[in-house]
């Protein structure tokens, strides 16, 4: 417990908040990396996931590849990429993108697939094109699940972006590594607390977004969905 107090004290120290190694800078870098990684991963993963969910083609392949991709250890991948690309941000960003893709992709195809088939057929019957079908029906109905994928990806990336400090002077991971190596465990725990707080904040924001999407997707079932939501965070 005293270690925890030491960590809080470390956080309360004003000099730790400013400067190039200050908490403000590190938090900003951490958020920046997370956003960058999730946006790039989404640009890659969402179209593929939507296509797979809509057509039902390539599902086996995607599920297999995703299963394998989830098992890739990010630190190992980071070291390999680092040996190829050198130090700096490139290697950790690519490794984190590979970490984020499975959740996003799984969310996308599961979301699109989950759209009620009767509704989809009805939409087709009233003359919607495939593009309209995807945009207006499948994405709207699948949004809660797709956002669930985003939630999972964001959480993983926030927690794992600490590895960026393995080869670059960037992010909250700096406190973890510096604390670990110098036995300054107060600093290390303070870094971990910051990562946790950031993750919780992101989780709250995304949960709110997900709830809104859920209400929009099935207004009639609002009550039921809301009670389900509380325990059903990032599962996709």
Partner 1 sequence: MRKMIRTGIIGLAAMFALAGCGSGDPLDSGESSATGKGEPIVIGSQDYYSSEIISEVYAQALEAEGYSVDRQFRIGQREVYVPELESGDIDLFPEYTGPLLQYWEPDTEARLSDDVYESLKKAAPDGLRVLEQSPATDQDSYTVTKEFAERWGVETIDDLAKVTEPMTMGANSEAEERPNGPKGLKETYGVDVGFTPIEDSGGPLTVKALNDGSIQLAIIYTADPTIAQNKLVSIKDTEGLFLASHVVPLASDNVDQGAEDVINKVSAAMQPEDLLNMNRRSVADQLPASEIAREWLRKADLG
The phi and psi torsions of 22 (rounded to 5 degrees) equal -80, 160
Q: Is 159 exposed, middle or buried (0-12, 13-18, 19+ CB in 10 A)?
A: middle
115 binds partner 1 (CB under 8 A): no
| Region label for 171, one of left (φ > 0), alpha (ψ between -120 and 50) or beta (otherwise) | left
* Of the residues 49, 62, 167, 172, which one makes contact with partner 1 according to CB under 8 A: 167
Structure tokens at 102: 């499975």
Rounded Cα distance, 115 and 106, in Å = 14
22 binds partner 1 (CB under 8 A): no
Pattern of binders to partner 1 over 134-153, x per CB under 8 A? Answer: ------------------x-
210 binds partner 1 (CB under 8 A): no
Contact 30, 158 (CB under 8 A): yes
199 binds partner 1 (CB under 8 A): yes
Counting residues that bind partner 1 (by CB under 8 A) gives 36
Of 156, 155, 59, give the one whose Cα is nearest residue 105.
59
Q: Which long-range contacts (CB under 8 A, 24 or more apart) does 61-68 make?
A: 62/105, 62/109, 66/102, 66/105, 66/106
156 binds partner 1 (CB under 8 A): yes
155 binds partner 1 (CB under 8 A): yes
Structure tokens at 68: 């394998």
* Of the residues 15, 131, 181, 220, which one makes contact with partner 1 according to CB under 8 A: 181
Of 10-18, 34-42, 53-61, 158-166, the segment contacting partner 1 by CB under 8 A is: 158-166
* Of the residues 119, 196, 197, 221, which one makes contact with partner 1 according to CB under 8 A: 196
62 binds partner 1 (CB under 8 A): no
Contacting positions for partner 1 (CB under 8 A): 73-76, 79, 82-83, 86-88, 152, 155-156, 158-160, 162-163, 165-169, 174, 177-178, 181-182, 192, 195-196, 199-200, 203, 233-234
């Amino acid at each position: 417990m005293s270690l925890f107090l030491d960590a809080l004290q470390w956080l309360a120290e004003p000099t730790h908040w400013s400067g190039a190694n200050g908490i403000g800078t590190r938090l900003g870098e951490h958020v920046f990396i997370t956003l960058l990684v999730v946006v790039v991963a989404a640009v890659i993963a969402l179209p593929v996931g939507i296509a797979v969910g809509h057509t039902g083609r390539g599902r086996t392949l995607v599920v297999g590849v995703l299963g394998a991709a989830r098992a890739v250890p990010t630190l190992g991948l980071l070291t390999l990429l680092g040996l190829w690309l050198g130090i700096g941000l490139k290697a950790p960003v690519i490794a984190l993108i590979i970490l984020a893709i499975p959740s996003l992709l799984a969310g996308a195809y599961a979301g699109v697939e989950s759209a009620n088939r009767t509704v989809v057929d009805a939409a087709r019957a009233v003359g919607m094109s495939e593009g309209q079908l995807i945009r207006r029906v499948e994405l709207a109905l699948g949004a809660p699940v797709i956002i669930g994928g985003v939630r999972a990806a964001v959480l993983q990336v926030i927690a794992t972006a600490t590895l960026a400090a393995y080869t670059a002077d960037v992010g909250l991971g700096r406190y973890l590594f510096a604390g670990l190596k110098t036995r300054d465990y107060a600093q290390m725990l303070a870094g971990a607390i910051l990562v946790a707080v950031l993750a919780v904040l992101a989780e709250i924001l995304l949960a709110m977004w997900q709830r809104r999407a859920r209400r929009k997707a099935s207004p009639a079932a609002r009550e039921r969905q809301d009670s389900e939501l509380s325990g059903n965070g990032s599962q996709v």
